[in-house]
């Protein structure tokens, strides 16, 4: 009796050993709890298989966060090869973030124990197989993200356990549009399922390549190849028609929906701002591309944008109206571009901007740069960095604000003032609120080219 119990204790300790390496309390408790929910043997064995191996260990790397009252488990970028065990978290997550891992297969019952999920992000894995019972139990799930995976086929049966599914992303998977996809394609095409499977396209067979699942005629899926036709001329493959269209952010970039909608378009070789930035995107990163020019209405649809990162591009010009409508923008990163100045009016809609990065641009300290400095003085709440003169040589390395100040000191319009070195003329007053206000009120100090558009501006707003 005694021996048995100490043996039991020893084996228990052995079982618990791996969990001592884990920081999260309650780790490893979940196995039995999750399993009692399994209904039939097939599911049971598959689920056990899924939960074996290293996933239990790595699961402790995931982090928990609460945003707007919702509980998230964030397991992104954790080198996971399978779904971490449930019930290792302090409570049931509503959102499970598994993007950018190495999951290849979703086994039956993979999400048992995650019944509270309303969203599940599996994008950017290597999923090539989803078993029919993989999503069993996810009755509350409304959002399922499977874009950027290796799926060639998916049975509609896999979606049946999720009666509340409203958003399903399937694009950037190599869909093989053959008969097994028939029921899925028909489901996606039901008019009320308008947010299921948008943008997903067939990769195979050749005759259907590039056609959207939403638009394909389901009859074509099950059509046998016509044996009498001789159309396999290798010199004449059916090529996608090379239409030159503006790149679309939805398919080209990585979109993360939770906790806030974020679009990652870094290093996509973009030469212009992509279309399809949806109205609810909060953060967009366009850094490390080759965008030369921001054009009017580039961000017209992006009304909720709070951060915009366009650093490390080749921007030479920003059209006046290109940032119009970005009323909620907080952070704007324009650093490491080829900007010489910011044109009058560009920043006018940015009422809530709090951070502006300008470094690494060849700012030219002449007339055209004044707008930037006046705008910054009018918006003292904006933290900014990197506004240094690059040319002409006599101003290189000088702060642009100092240049403008010395300009105004040296060349007062309609005013007699000693032409002493500006550095000598009462430096204590520089950039004090009084001095700033004085300059703003005295319109004659502004270069005349700045005044004309200001009138235009007033007309636009009234
Ligand atoms: C298929 O092509 C071959 C030669 O290219 C031709 O002889 C044959 O008649 C073709 N068959 C049909 C059904 O068109
Ligand atoms: C913008 O992107 C660059 C490069 O990816 C990064 O270093 C920088 O911190 C980002 N800026 C902001 C404001 O997040």
- For strand 283-285 and strand 307-309, is the pairing parallel, antiparallel, or unpaired? parallel
> For the chain, percent helix, then strand, then coil, each to nearest 5?
25, 15, 60
Q: Which residues line ligand 2 (CB under 6 A)?
A: 266, 285, 287-288, 309, 311-312, 331, 333, 357
**Topology of 25-173 in CATH?**
3.80.10
Looking at residue 102, what is its pLDDT?
96
Cβ–ligand 1 distance for 232 under 6 Å, the answer no
Q: What is the pLDDT along the chain (462 residues), one digit of tens a residue?
A: 454 555 555 554 444 444 444 434 333 333 333 333 333 333 333 334 443 333 334 455 889 999 888 999 999 999 999 999 877 788 889 999 999 999 999 999 999 999 999 999 999 999 999 999 999 999 999 999 999 999 999 999 999 999 999 999 999 999 999 999 999 999 999 999 999 999 999 999 998 999 999 999 998 888 766 555 555 544 444 555 445 567 788 888 999 988 889 999 999 999 999 988 988 999 999 999 999 999 998 998 898 999 999 999 999 999 999 999 899 999 999 999 999 999 999 999 898 999 999 999 999 999 899 999 999 999 999 999 999 999 999 999 999 999 988 888 765 554 444 344 444 444 444 444 444 443 444 433 444 444 444 444 444 443
Ligand 1 midpoint to CA 224 (Å): 18
Cα 50 to Cα 45: distance, rounded to the nearest angstrom: 9
Cβ–ligand 1 distance for 68 under 6 Å, the answer no
**In this structure, which long-range contacts are made by residues 446-449, counting pairs with CB atoms below 8 Å and at least 24 apart in sequence?**
446/370, 446/374, 447/367, 447/370, 448/413, 449/344, 449/367
Looking at residue 259, what is its pLDDT?
85
Q: What does the block give as tokens for 169?
A: 């992303």
Looking at residue 60, what is its pLDDT?
58
Cα 347 to Cα 444: distance, rounded to the nearest angstrom: 22
- CATH 3.80.10.10 residue spans of the chain: 25-173, 249-461
Ligand 2 midpoint to CA 311 (Å): 7
Looking at residue 458, what is its pLDDT?
40
* Ligand 1 nearest-atom number relative to CA 230: 1
Q: What does the block give as tokens for 118?
A: 């309303």
Ligand 2 midpoint to CA 342 (Å): 20
Which of 227, 230, 232, 234 to mutate to test ligand 1, by most ligand atoms within 8 A of the CB atom?
230
Homologous superfamily of 249-461 in CATH? Ribonuclease Inhibitor (3.80.10.10)
Cβ–ligand 1 distance for 4 under 6 Å, the answer no
pTM: 0.65
Closest CA to 394 of 414, 372, 413, 422: 422
- Give the ligand with the smallest distance to the CA of 227: 1
């Amino acid at each position: 009796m005694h021996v048995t119990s100490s043996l039991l204790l020893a084996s228990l300790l052995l079982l618990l050993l791996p969990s001592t390496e884990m920081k999260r309390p309650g780790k490893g408790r979940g196995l039995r709890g999750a399993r009692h929910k399994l209904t039939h043997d097939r599911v049971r064995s598959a689920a056990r298989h899924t939960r074996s191996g290293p996933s239990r260990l790595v699961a402790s790397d995931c982090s928990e966060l609460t945003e707007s009252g919702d509980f998230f488990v964030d397991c992104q970028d954790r080198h996971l090869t399978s779904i971490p065990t449930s019930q290792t978290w302090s409570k049931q997550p509503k959102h499970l973030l598994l993007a950018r891992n190495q999951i290849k297969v979703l086994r039956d019952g993979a999400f048992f124990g995650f019944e509270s999920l309303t969203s599940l992000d599996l994008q950017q894995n290597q999923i090539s197989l989803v078993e029919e019972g993989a999503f069993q139990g996810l009755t509350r799930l409304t959002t399922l993200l499977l874009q950027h995976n290796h799926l060639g086929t998916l049975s509609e049966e896999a979606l049946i356990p999720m009666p509340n599914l409203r958003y399903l992303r399937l694009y950037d998977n190599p869909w093989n549009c053959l008969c097994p996809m028939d029921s899925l394609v028909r489901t996606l095409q039901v008019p009320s399922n308008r947010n299921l499977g948008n943008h997903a396209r067939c990769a195979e067979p050749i005759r259907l390549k590039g056609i959207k699942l939403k638009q394909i005629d389901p009859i074509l899926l099950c059509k046998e190849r016509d044996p009498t036709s001789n159309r396999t001329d290798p010199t004449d493959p059916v090529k996608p028609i090379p239409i030159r269209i503006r790149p679309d952010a939805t398919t080209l970039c990585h979109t993360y929906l939770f906790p806030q909608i974020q679009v990652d378009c870094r290093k996509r070789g973009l030469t212009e701002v992509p279309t399809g930035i949806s109205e609810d995107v909060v953060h967009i990163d366009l850094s490390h591309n080759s965008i030369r020019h921001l054009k009017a209405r580039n961000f017209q649809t992006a009304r909720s944008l709070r951060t915009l990162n366009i650093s490390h591009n080749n921007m030479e010009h920003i059209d006046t109206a290109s940032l119009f409508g970005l009323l909620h923008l907080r952070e704007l990163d324009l650093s490491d571009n080829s900007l010489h100045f910011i044109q009058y009016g560009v920043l006018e809609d940015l009422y809530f901007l709090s951070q502006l990065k300008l470094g690494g641009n060849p700012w030219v300290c002449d007339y055209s740069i004044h707008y930037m400095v006046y705008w910054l003085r009018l918006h003292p709440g904006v933290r900014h960095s990197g506004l240094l003169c690059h040319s002409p040589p006599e101003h290189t390395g000088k702060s642009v604000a100092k240049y403008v100040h010395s300009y105004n000191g040296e060349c007062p319009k309609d005013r007699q003032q000693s032409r002493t070195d500006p550095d000598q003329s009462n430096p204590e007053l520089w950039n004090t609120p009084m001095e700033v206000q004085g300059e703003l009120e005295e319109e004659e100090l502004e270069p005349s080219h700045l005044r004309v558009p200001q009138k235009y501006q007033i007309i636009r707003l009234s």
